Structure 1
Amino acid sequence: MKKILVLFSFVLSSCILSAQQLYSESSILMGSSFNISVVAEDEEFAKESLALAKEEIVRIEKLISSWIQGSETSKINQNAGVAAVKVSKELFDLIYRAQQISKLTSGAFDISFAAVGKLWEFDGRESQMPDQEILNASIVNIGHHLIELNEEASTVFLLKKGMRIGFGAIGKGYAADRAKQVLVERGVVGGIINASGDMNTWGTKPDGSSWTIGIVNPMNNKKVFSWFSLEHDAVVTSGDYEKFTQINGERYSHIIDPRTGIPAKGIVSCTVFAGKAELADALATAVFVMGKEAGLFLINQLPNIEAILIDDSGMIHRSKNIEIEEN
C-alpha cells in the first residue's frame, strides 16, 4: 500500500453531475467532534443513515466509557483487585485486541494507562513534574499483563486495586469503524467519518473522485501542510498542537508513556494509515510514545501500515512506503 503526499498542494476534483449528493452532520459525541458524511441519492435515506451512525457511536460510548455509571467498563474499574466482571463479547474482544497491541508495542500503548492520567491536567498550569513517589505509586498499577481475561467465562479482572482501564487512545477509532460498518451494511455506497482526527472512508465522492484528507500543520494548526487521497482506508492523526504542557523549557504532549507516567516528547504530529481506524488510533499513540526511530521501525515491519511523523523541530519523517513530492 503506497501513499503519495503532496506538500502544500491542493487536489481539485472536477464537478460531474450526479444524482448522488453528499449529506453531512456534525455532533459532539464521546466528548469529541464527530462529522459524518454519506453519499446518497435520497435525502430521507441519508438522514436515516446519519441517525443510525450516531446511535451506534452513542452505544459504543455507553459500553466503553469509564465515566458513565453502570457501564461495563466502569464495573471493571470498580472491581479492580476485588473480582472478575462478566462483560459482553464485544467489550471482551476489544480489550483482547488492545492487549495484543500492547504486546506488539512493548507497552507503549496500554489501556491501563488511566491509572496515571489523573496526575496531569494539560491546562497550562503544570510547572513541574509530579513527585516521583506519586508517579511510582501510579505506574505500578499500569500493565497489560495485569488485565486477566477469561474467554470461556467472558470475564475481565484487573489484578490490582487502583488499576483503571480507559479507551481514550482507541475508543474513537473503534466507534468510527463501527459507524462505518453500520452504514455499509445499510447500503450506503460511500462516506467519511471524522472523529476528531480519527477518519474512516469508503467509496468515493458523488463525482467519483477520491476523498481528500488534509493533515494539519502542527506548527500552525490553522493551516494544512499536506493533502492526500484516500479510499477504503482509515487514517488517524495524533498531535500535541492543541493539548500540551511545557516544563523547564521542554514541550510535553498530552500522550502519556504508560511505562513511566510521563508525557511523551519529541514528536508533535503522527499520522498512521491502516485498514481500521481502531488500529490506526492505537498505533498513532504508540508511535508518539516510542519516538521516531523506534516508532517507524515498528511501522515498517507491519503489512499495509504506513506513517508520517513531524518532530518538534519541524522535520518530516515517513515510513518506507510513503512518497513525498515537494512543490
Structure 2
Amino acid sequence: MKAPIFLFALFFSLVNYGQQPYKKTLKLMGCHFEITLVAKDSMTANRQINTAVIEITRIEKLISSWDKNSQTSEINRNAGIKPVKVGVELFQLIKRALKISKLTNGAFDISYASMDNVWFFDGSMTEMPSKDIIKKSVEKVGYQNIVLNEKNQSVFLKKKGMKIGFGALGKGYAADKAKILLQKSGVTSGIINASGDLNAWGTQPTGKEWLVAIVNPLNKEKVFSWMPVNNSAVVTSGNYEKYVKFNNVLYTHIIDPRTGYPATGVLSVTIFTKTAELADALATSVFVMGAETGLNFINQLKGVECIIVNENNKMITSKNIQLKTIKND
C-alpha cells in the first residue's frame, strides 16, 4: 500500500573532532538502506554497520511475505483454515498494527495485502476500473478479521485468501531495531534511513543537530524548510512519482484499504515521532485520510507531529511544528 519515497537531505559537518560520520548504502528488504554512524575510524564504523545489517536481515526473514519459510507466510497459508502460533516479536508487531488500525478506523490495515491488483501505475492504465471491480478488490481486506489469541500466541485470518503484509511499517520497524542494537553496542550517534523511513539519534561530531529537509514534492531540488531531528524518527510518503490521472483527478499508488480507491488530495505527508514503525504507519494513514481529517487526527496524538503538502502544493503543519523557511533562488 505504501511506497515511501526518499525525500531527505541530510546536512553533515565533516570537521573532525576525533570522530566523523561514515555512511554506507545497501540494498536490504528490497529497498535502499543508508546507514550513517559517527565513529572514530572506518574499521569501527564498518563493524558496527555490519551489526545493523545482520539485524535488518533478521527482521526481513521474520516479516517477509515472499519468503515461504517465514512466520508471516505461514499465517497467510493458513488463512481461513487454522490459527498459527508465532514468536513473541511477530505477535506483538501484529498487535501494535491492529491498534493503529482501530485508531485510524481502518485507514491503516496490514490485511491490505489481500487486495486484488486493479490499479497499475506503470503507464499501462487507459481507463478507470469499474466500481464493481474496485469493490470486489477489497472483499478480503479487513483488520477485524485478524484474530489474536494472547494465551496461545497465535494469529488467525478468518477469511480464506486473506493475507497480511508489512510494507507499511516493516522498514520502519527494522530501522528502529537496528538503532536500538547500535545504541546498545555503544554507537552514540547515527542515522538509519530505510528508503525514507528515517531514525536518528545523537548529534553531528560538532555537536550540531542532524537536520532533515522538507522538499517541494513538485521539485525535489527545492527545499520548503528544514527540521532538526532529536533522537526521533521521520517518515515521508509521497504520491508524485507513482500515480494515474483520470478526468483531471490524480490517483496515488497509496490505496485506501477500506474502499479500494487510491488516495487523492495530498502530495506528501511527513510524520515526526519517536519510532519509525509508528511514523511509517501514520504517514500512510494520514495520506489515506486526506489533509483536513489527517491533520485533525495527528493534532490529537501526543508526541506526534506532521507536515502535509496538499494537492495545491501548499504546506500544512500540525499545531506544534515550527519551521524555518528556506528560500530557493
TM-score, shorter chain, exceeding 0.5: yes
2:38–2:190 CA contact under 8 A, matched in 1: yes
What is the match of residue 248 of structure 2?
249
Query: In the alignment, is the contact (CA less than 8 A) between 2:59 and 2:174 conserved in 1?
Result: yes
Amino acid at match of 1:195: A
2:316 alignment partner in structure 1? 317
Alignment match, 2:31 = 32
Q: Secondary structure at the match of 2:299?
A: helix
In 1, Cα distance between the equivalents of 2:14 and 2:53? 29
Cα deviations by residue, 1:233-289 (Å, 9 ceiling, x for unpaired): 101000012222222321111111011011101001000000000000000000000
Q: CA deviation at 1:13?
A: 7.3
1:148 counterpart letter in structure 2 = V
State the Cα deviation string for residues 274-314 of structure 1 (Å, max 9, x = none).
Answer: 00000000000000000111101110000110001001111
Deviating above 3 A after TM superposition, structure 1's stretches of 4 or more consecutive aligned residues are 10-17, 324-327
- Are 2:35 and 2:191, in contact at CA under 8 Å, matched by a contact in 1? yes
2:298 matched to 1:299? yes
Q: CA RMSD in A?
A: 1.7
Q: 1:223 to 1:307 in 2, by over 3 A?
A: same
Q: CA deviation at 1:216?
A: 2.7
Query: Alpha-carbon deviations, 1:11-32, whole Å to 9, x = none?
Result: 9777654111111100111111
* Deviation at residue 324 of structure 1 after TM alignment: 3.2
What residue is the counterpart of 2:134 in the other structure? 135
CA contact (8 A) 1:126 1:246 kept: no
What is the one-letter code of the residue matched to 2:113?
Answer: A
Residue number in structure 1 paired with 2:208: 209
Provide the identity percentage: 53
Contact 1:27 1:33 in 2 (8 A): yes
Which residue matches 2:175? 176
CA distance in 1, matches of 2:14, 2:56: 32
Give the secondary structure class of the aligned counterpart of 1:157: strand
Distance 1:68 1:121, change over 3 A: farther
Q: Aligned pairs, how many? A: 318
Could you list the runs of 5+ residues in structure 1 that have no partner in the other structure?
A: 1-9
Change (3 A) 1:117 1:49: farther
1:86 is displaced (CA, Å) by: 1.1
**Which amino acid is 1:266 matched to?**
G
Q: 1:172 to 1:15 in 2, by over 3 A?
A: closer
* Structure 1 residue 325: Cα displacement: 4.2
TM-score w.r.t. the length of structure 2 is 0.92
The answer (yes or no) to whether the contact 1:39–1:188 under 8 Å persists in 2 is: yes
Determine if contact 1:127/1:248 at 8 Å carries over to the other structure: no
Matched, 1:90 2:94: no
Following superposition of structure 1 onto structure 2, how do residues 3-14 of structure 1 map, counting pairs within 5 Å? none
Gaps of 5+ in 2: 1-8
SS at match of 2:48: helix
Q: Which residue of 1 aligns with 2:45?
A: 46
Amino acid in the other structure paired with 1:292: A
Counterpart AA for 1:87: V
Cross-structure match for 1:259: 258
Distance 1:98 1:12, change over 3 A: closer
Q: Partner residue of 2:64?
A: 65
TM-superposed deviation, 1:117: 5.4
Q: 1:192 touches 1:201 (CA, 8 Å); kept in 2?
A: yes
Residue 276 of structure 1: aligned partner: 275
Q: Tell me which residue corresponds to 2:3.
A: none
What is the correspondence of 1:164-203 to structure 2 with a 5 Å cutoff?
164-203=163-202
CA distance 1:324–1:63, change in 2 (3 Å): same
Matches within 5 A, 1:235-246: 235-246=234-245
Q: How does 1:139-150 map to 2 (within 5 A)?
A: 139-150=138-149
* Aligned partners of 2:116 and 2:138 also within 8 Å: no
Are 2:14 and 2:20, in contact at CA under 8 Å, matched by a contact in 1? no
1:150-194 Cα offsets, whole Å, 9 max, x none, are 111111100001211111111111011011011111110100011
